[in-house]
Amino acid sequence: MTGARRSQRANGHGNLYPLGLSFGMDIDEIRQKVQKAIGPLKQAELDQPIYHQLFMSAKRTDAGGKLPPYYLVYFLLIDLLGFRNNGQWDKTAWSVTVDYEGTPFLVEHRKFGLGIFGMEKPKTEAIAERVATCLNKAAKAARPYFEWRASEAAKQSHLNVVNRSRALFARVEFYLGLFDARTSEAEARKGERIRTQTGPNTWSTRYPAQNLTREARWFALSAIESFFSWTEHVFIHIATLRGLCSTGEDVAALAKSDWADKYKAALDITHKDDKRFYDDLAVLRRQLRNFVAHGSFGKEGEALLFHSGAGAVPMLLPHNRNPSVFRFGSGLDFRTAPSIDLIKAFIAHLWTGVRSPAKIYLQDYELPVVLTRVKDGSYAAAMCSDADMEEFARHLAGLFDRHANMDF
């Protein structure tokens, strides 16, 4: 192998990858270990009639269900070991012809998944099991290569960012709906009293509105926690659609940042309404985290009472309370209604103005964000109007559907 070929290797798409890995292991050393692990499996060299028969008549084996994920097998065989890719056609994304001690197989990623395909013969299934064992051993030996491939990919824009916005928002809506239902029922039954005889001369009294109000508070707390989980996710996607993240490393850095930074990346706090919501939500989030994340004790003595001649007194006295604070804890009630009103108002505000097209893409079509589309300006153009985004999202959804169906 020449020096030039030792330093670079072409994959099936014609891209070149440097062979010196940043973690200190030489690519040739990894390849040698993988080739040792995969033996006696090798690239099949078949005569045209046998090759044609295999392609026309090979059947899926049960052993194919024991393979590593399809992308690892692709990287292993085609990228790292240089096995020939037979190509892509309808319902098949890629195909490799392999040989195990004289028995040929196809390792293919088809519409219904990765598989090992062989001719129907008495020992085919047993040999296919050995093929699967070889591929699993080789994939284990190739882990350093896979890790390097992932780290290199993160530096570039050939990535999709998974979008779970709609699923996370559905959880918010679920708890908000339960909160509203319990609150309405508690109001309707506010004066109701239920008496139950517990003995010959004893009775118990129950006020349904009290239990309903308590349950409403629980649902409110769950709704707020779900709301902040959703915003942590959706802010990253909005920021990416705005062009602030164009590589995997950009997305990872924003994901590691705190909620405030994500908010500022998605919204413009120089805008009056964006700043107002930022201030109020930051307070709500801080109080929620301080109380819930610290075992319902908070950080300011919310769960403490001090002794006095007046009896037990909350450590956090009411006169210390800022009226804008959404406080959790003993002595200062969690202001349920204002907190829920705030997150409902923000949800409506988020999808207004320049962010309206983002709702079409993220919530209505639920598409992943493709970083190459950030780089080439596609999102910048689509974010100009709802109509532009509708057209772009519909086109992209069609591409994803065709790819998922392997309609090549």
DSSP 291-338: HHTTTT-TTTTTT-EE--TT--EESS-GGG--TT----STTS---HHH
Q: Where are the beta strands (DSSP E) in 178-273?
A: 194-197, 203-206
Mean pLDDT of 42-51: 84
Q: Average pLDDT of the chain?
A: 84
Give dist(CA 382, CA 210) in Å, integer: 50
The partner residues of 313 in beta bridges, in order of sequence, read 306
The position carrying tokens 């090992």 is 116
Give dist(CA 35, CA 15) in Å, integer: 22
Give the closest residue to 94 by CA, choosing from 64, 73, 125, 63.
73
In this prediction, residue 334 has a pLDDT band, given cuts at 50, 70 and 90, of low
Q: Is the pLDDT of residue 338 over 50?
A: yes
In this prediction, residue 203 has a pLDDT band, given cuts at 50, 70 and 90, of confident
Mean pLDDT of 235-255: 93
Q: Is the pLDDT of residue 11 over 50?
A: no
What are the CA-CA distances from residue 93 to residues 15, 74, 85, 401, 402 (Å)? 18, 10, 10, 14, 12
Q: Is the pLDDT of residue 333 over 60?
A: no
Surface-to-core class of residue 51, CB atoms within 10 Å of its CB (0-12 exposed, 13-18 middle, 19+ buried): middle
70-81 b/e with 16+ CB inside 10 Å = b? bebbbbbbbbbb
| pTM (predicted TM-score) | 0.71
Q: Report the percent of the chain where pLDDT is more than 90.
A: 58
Q: Is the pLDDT of residue 114 over 70?
A: yes
pLDDT value at residue 280:
93
Strand pairing of 16-18 and 8-10? antiparallel
pLDDT value at residue 326:
41
Q: Report the percent of the chain where pLDDT is more than 70.
A: 84
Q: Is the pLDDT of residue 69 over 70?
A: yes
Q: Is the pLDDT of residue 375 over 50?
A: yes
User: Which is higher by pLDDT, 92 or 216?
Assistant: 216
Taken in order 139, 142, 143, 149, the sign of the CA dihedral is negative
Residues near 107 by beta carbon (within 8 Å), at least 6 away in sequence: 67, 73, 77, 95, 96, 98, 114, 115, 116, 117, 131, 135
Mean pLDDT of 55-70: 91
Least confident interval from 78-87, 248-257, 314-323, 359-368: 314-323
- Please say whether the beta carbons of 302 and 315 come within 8 A: yes
Mean pLDDT of 40-44: 92
Give dist(CA 97, CA 105) in Å, integer: 6
Residues near 340 by beta carbon (within 8 Å), at least 6 away in sequence: 176, 179, 220, 223, 224
pLDDT value at residue 313:
66
pLDDT value at residue 151:
82
Q: Is the pLDDT of residue 221 over 60?
A: yes
